[in-house]
Amino acid sequence: MPIDRITPQTLHKWLAAPDEIAVLDVRDEGIYAHGHLLLAASLPLAALELEAPRRLPRRDVSIVLIDDQPDRAQRAATLLTEGGYSRISLLEGGNTAWAAAGFPLFSGLYVPSKAFGEVVEHVRHTPRITAETLLQWRASKKPHLLVDSRPFEEAQVFSMPGSLSCPGAELLRRVPAAVAPNVPVVVHCAGRTRSIIGAQSLIDAGIPNPVFALENGTMGWYLTGQPLTHASAEWLPARDGRTARARALATMQRAGVALIDAATLARFEQDSTRTLYIFDVRLPEAYRAAHLKGALNAPGGQLIQSTDVYAPVRGARIVLVDDDLVQAPMTAHWLAQMGWDVHVFDLPGNPQPERLVSGDAPRVLLKEPRLTPLLSVSMIQAALHTPDLRGLRLFDCRDSRRYRDGHIPGAQFLIRSDIPRLLDDTDRAHTLVFISDDEYLARFAAADAVAAGFRAKWLDGGYTEWINRTGPVTTSDAHYRSAPVDAWYSPYQLESGMEEAMREYISWETGLLHRLQDEPGIHFKLSPALQAHE
């Protein structure tokens, strides 16, 4: 099937139209983060078979692929076409042509969501305090509640002394019952967006407490010379049921979002002309315990923080679900203000026992990887003690940040999409072994190597099994066959220059507010009067 090539002017016109469209930048995330279209979602070529079915559920949606290397964009187009996608275009000249046509490029990740957070603070005048003020409160022993609105796993890596973990969509369920009504609540994240959205959520819901966002989050705290805590996050355990539900529903209704029943949901699911995302916005453990069949887990705070990751199809319909009508309504009230067609399924009012399932969502691939042999952990452990690893060559396809933090001795970092290009100097007498946290990624990498004429296997159980079997790990012999451009390194993940990077990040994020003018496809609908009046 021939693939259409379009000009930047055509794409600009398409983005301004109300029709569904998915603009996908198939470069590696670290390269993408240096400059991309505002509404282009990152979907690297290396992950296409793994991610496309989940992120692009309708096979006849309009897709535009972007890569500054035409051969890579063509490879992505071929894979999607073979997977049943029928409306694929390539942006002629990629990002270079877009910029040459006078259209802006944006650096960073999750930029639409980050920009939205800045607009919220500007329009809603979200109260904030500085790290210096918080320090004064502590010195004077002023009562307050400090909450970290990131996922618990992030808070475990680093947070602030005295902060309790309460992911964004959980705030209304937990905060009001945890403190007296007159005690100030301070919401923070690692930077800005989730602090602002978290604080404004509580304000919109009408809790009686004074609520503040901590300006610049843990970055602002660290830049004042204060320490971060590590691996010591604690949950905010309290929950507020009926009152939280009433507040959440009222907040949702003020944003113009309605509850839908089972018949409406069924009609949405049968509508083949629209992309439908059904997101269960509860925490992962609640989702795994029981969820609506067909719903994907997207914890509410993260869905607002990185909407382009979960829903790359602009103009799609979104249905949110939870089990108590708190997290879904609060998340929906933000998505509506971002311009999404969003609805909340009333699961408590429409019990669906026949549709409830447990565990993770089924894995759906664009295609099955070619069958290749596996290799056990014990076989590699034995090979480590022999000359030349018994002819094995180990390639680690995990996130480069994880590779840096520890890998199997002798393993080289390699991005899967680089296999055709970077293995030319590898002796074909060797057997290549691919390692990942994701079995399917390792299997696809091995299949790519076989297609390139190599003998290849994949590590059964991956790096996780290696650790479970107490295999040796090293950080001292890192060998990068691919440049570590598969991921964006946050200021916290840099080995040097962290403080300067934090200041640059804060400047970048606050600067987004003034870069949105005339951007096609941005339909933020904010009102200064959405908060409750009690």
What is the per-residue DSSP string for 484-521?
S-SS---GGG-SS-HHHHHHHHHHHHHHGGGG-TT-TT
- Which positions ≥6 away from 94 have C-beta within 8 Å? 66, 67, 68, 69, 70, 73
Task: Say what the pLDDT of residue 531 is.
Answer: 64
* pLDDT(28) > 60: yes
CATH architecture of 113-240: 3-Layer(aba) Sandwich (3.40)
Place of tokens 């309009």: 62
Question: What is the pTM (predicted TM-score) of this model?
Answer: 0.96
Taking all residues of the chain, what is their mean pLDDT, rounded to a whole number? 96
Percentage with pLDDT > 90 across the chain: 91
Instruction: Report the pLDDT value the prediction gives residue 201, as an integer from 0 to 100.
Output: 98
What is the homologous superfamily of the domain 4-107 according to CATH? Answer: Rhodanese-like domain (3.40.250.10)
Strands 341-345 and 356-357, by their bridges, are unpaired
Class of domain 255-352: alpha beta
Write out the residue limits of the CATH 3.40.250.10 domain(s) in the chain. Answer: 4-107, 113-240, 255-352, 374-468
Do the bridges between strand 313-314 and strand 455-459 make them parallel or antiparallel, or are there none, so unpaired? Answer: unpaired
pLDDT, residue 469, reads 94
Residue 105, classed as helix, strand or coil, is coil
At 238 the pLDDT is 73
Q: What is the pLDDT of residue 88?
A: 98
Task: Tokens 């319909």: give the residue.
Answer: 317
Mean pLDDT across 451-478: 95
How far apart, in Å, are the Cα atoms of 362 and each of 48, 195, 309, 320, 357? 17, 33, 18, 19, 11
Asked whether residue 221 carries a pLDDT value surpassing 60, the answer given is yes
Render pLDDT for 301-350 as a digit per residue (tens, 0 to 9): 999 999 999 999 999 999 999 999 999 999 999 999 999 999 999 999 99
pLDDT surpasses 80 at 188: yes
pLDDT tens per residue across span 356-392: 999 999 999 999 999 999 999 999 999 988 887 889 9
Q: How many residues does the chain have?
A: 534
What pLDDT, on the 0 to 100 scale, is given for residue 450? 95
Fold of the CATH domain 374-468: Oxidized Rhodanese; domain 1 (3.40.250)
Whether pLDDT at 481 is above 50:
yes
* Cβ contact 123:530 at 8 Å: no
Give the model's pLDDT for residue 534: 47
Tell me: the pLDDT tens digits for 119-173? 999 999 999 999 999 999 999 999 999 999 999 999 999 999 999 999 999 999 9
Q: Which residues contact 457 (CB under 8 A, 6 or more apart)?
A: 372, 373, 374, 375, 431, 432, 433, 434, 446
- Write the DSSP assignment of 167-180 as a string of letters: -GGGHHHHHHHHS-
The two three-digit tokens of residue 19, written as one number: 């029709």
Residue 239 pLDDT: 78
pLDDT at 346: 97
- Residue 291: the pLDDT is 97
Question: Which residues lie closer than 8 Å to 38 by C-beta, 6 or more apart?
Answer: 104, 106, 111, 112, 115, 519, 521, 522
Q: What angle do CA 355, 361, 363 make, to 5 degrees?
A: 130
| pLDDT at residue 299, rounded to an integer | 99
Rounded CA separation 215/67 (Å): 36
> Would you give the end-to-end CA distance of the chain in angstroms?
60
Q: Which two tokens stand for residue 308?
A: 């382009």
Sign of CA dihedral 187, 189, 194, 195: positive
> Please, which pLDDT band fits residue 529 given cuts at 50, 70 and 90?
low
Q: Which ranges constitute the DSSP H helices of 226-345?
A: 242-254, 262-270, 284-289, 300-305, 307-310, 327-337
Residue 377: per-residue pLDDT: 95
pLDDT tens digits, residue range 505-520? 999 999 999 999 889 9
